[in-house]
Amino acid sequence: MRMYDIIKKKRDGFELTKEELEFFAKGAAEGFIPDYQLSALLMAIYFKGMSKRETADLTLAMAQSGDTVDLSDLGAVTADKHSTGGVGDKTTLIVAPIVASCGVSVAKMSGRGLGHTGGTVDKLESIPGYKTTLDREEFFDVVKKTGMSVIGQSGNLAPADKKLYALRDVTATVESIPLIASSIMSKKLAAGAECIVLDVKIGSGAFMKTDEQARALAREMIDIGSAAGRRTAAVLSNMDTPLGAAVGNSLEVIEAIETLKGGGPDDLKELCLTLAANMLVLAGKGDYEACFNLAQEILASGKAYETFKACVSAQGGNPDYIENTDLFEKAQFSCEVLAQTDGYISAMDAERIGTAACLLGAGRKTKEDSIDFAAGLEIKAKTGTKICKGETLAILYANDERLFDAAKTEYAAAIAIGNEPVEIQAVVIGSMR
């Protein structure tokens, strides 16, 4: 089998066979297909798409490209969540401890930033000492001890995705339903949880810009999960504005900790409770209303905060930073983006806001790039807010002052200001089974 022929076949709009997709996944995992050919096929898939059958075959080939985890040893029902990617999305840091505090184990492998979106692993690495790589025994020990563990896509789990994810991040091939569905579901199937809740984002900061695309992606993923015998559901959520106020790694961890301590922005809290409730429903903890109330009580009681702190500690992180977030290293420089006119914020381009954070150092330009944990931004006015000329729209943080100009221009371009009041959209748009 030749990679050249597979690329040409997809480029010309034909369906790939199961064997061809297995060859592609194996070649990505084992490194015998060079990056330029992998990237060429990714671009062909981006333009020509894949059938449902091709997506399912690719997902299984990617899931089986490395180790699969058997979570049955944990002796508890297990639940997982995954976001399709957004800006300011720190939900895992809040949802996992809520669900774990309700007696459902969360043994989770998360990703790094992708394109303009952030990744949970990068965020967690901003906590000094936190190890995002654990061996199987350590990973299970942390879950048994604290009810949860969040690590990176460790060792040999879905290595085909690890390779393709990093290439997609730098070749503008992220926004594709078959590529997102196979990327997410290969990891979820390999990671072994019985219950899977997918947070499918819709809007300017999401990879899926329309309701229709997001529903198609959700359907594809739910069907793959269900066919593999996993209880799978999706929450559709709004990504027309970033979630919460903080964008950037340690800034988002701080906001998540504030939420676990009982504060935090309302949109973030609402989405976290919705995701947690859906995970608890799938795990058999009751109907939706009962599970939502349970999640709310657990968050308000401080138990989820304690669980998060215990997990951070068990993974080598310094719990003092969780107790006192002032300890997080701050960026050396900050600058404000000011409103140029009076009016109401009528729209935010969340993707451009994510890009502004990346320009400040919070994301990667190439897959070898390191990121600056303290870089990012704090949103001071979101869609619907009435503002006056000269008021602060956002504060940008960086360790290199030269990065401000481009980021400031990007942020300002992301904000539309109109004369009329606008209706604020709900963060939770719907759910699917």
> Rule CB under 6 A: which residues touch ligand URA?
84-85, 111, 114, 165, 174, 179-180, 183-184
Q: Is 168 a catalytic residue?
A: yes
The minimum distance between CB 58 and ligand URA, in angstroms, equals 12
Both tokens of 208, joined, read 């899926």
Cα torsion through 83, 87, 93, 96, rounded to 10: -20
Q: Indicate which residue of 10, 26, 81, 82 is catalytic.
A: 82
Q: Is 267 a catalytic residue?
A: no
Q: Is 161 a catalytic residue?
A: yes
Closer residue to ligand URA, CB minimum distance, 271 or 417? 271
**CB nearest ligand URA: which residue?**
183
The minimum distance between CB 85 and ligand URA, in angstroms, equals 4
Q: Cα(382)–Cα(52) distance, rounded to whole angstroms?
A: 38
Closer residue to ligand URA, CB minimum distance, 45 or 299? 45
Q: Indicate which residue of 57, 80, 89, 161 is catalytic.
A: 161
Closer residue to ligand URA, CB minimum distance, 39 or 183? 183
Q: Cα(254)–Cα(356) distance, rounded to whole angstroms?
A: 19
The minimum distance between CB 191 and ligand URA, in angstroms, equals 11
Please list, residue by residue across 59-94, b when 16 or more beta carbons sit within 10 angstroms of its beta carbon and e when fewer do. Answer: bbbbbbbbeebebeebebbbbbbbbbbbbbbbbbbb
Closer residue to ligand URA, CB minimum distance, 88 or 147? 88
Q: Indicate which residue of 116, 123, 187, 215 is catalytic.
A: 187
The minimum distance between CB 119 and ligand URA, in angstroms, equals 8
The minimum distance between CB 10 and ligand URA, in angstroms, equals 18
Closer residue to ligand URA, CB minimum distance, 84 or 313? 84
Q: Is 187 a catalytic residue?
A: yes
Please list, residue by residue across 154-173, b when 16 or more beta carbons sit within 10 angstroms of its beta carbon and e when fewer do. Answer: bbebbbbbbbbbbbbbbbeb
Question: Which residue from 262, 291, 122 is spatially nearest to 197, judged by alpha carbons?
Answer: 291
Q: Indicate which residue of 168, 215, 285, 309 is catalytic.
A: 168
Angle at 135 between CA 131 and CA 137, to 5 degrees: 115
Q: Cα(194)–Cα(350) distance, rounded to whole angstroms?
A: 33
β 231-238/376-379 pair status: unpaired
Q: Which residues are catalytic?
A: 82, 161, 168, 183, 187
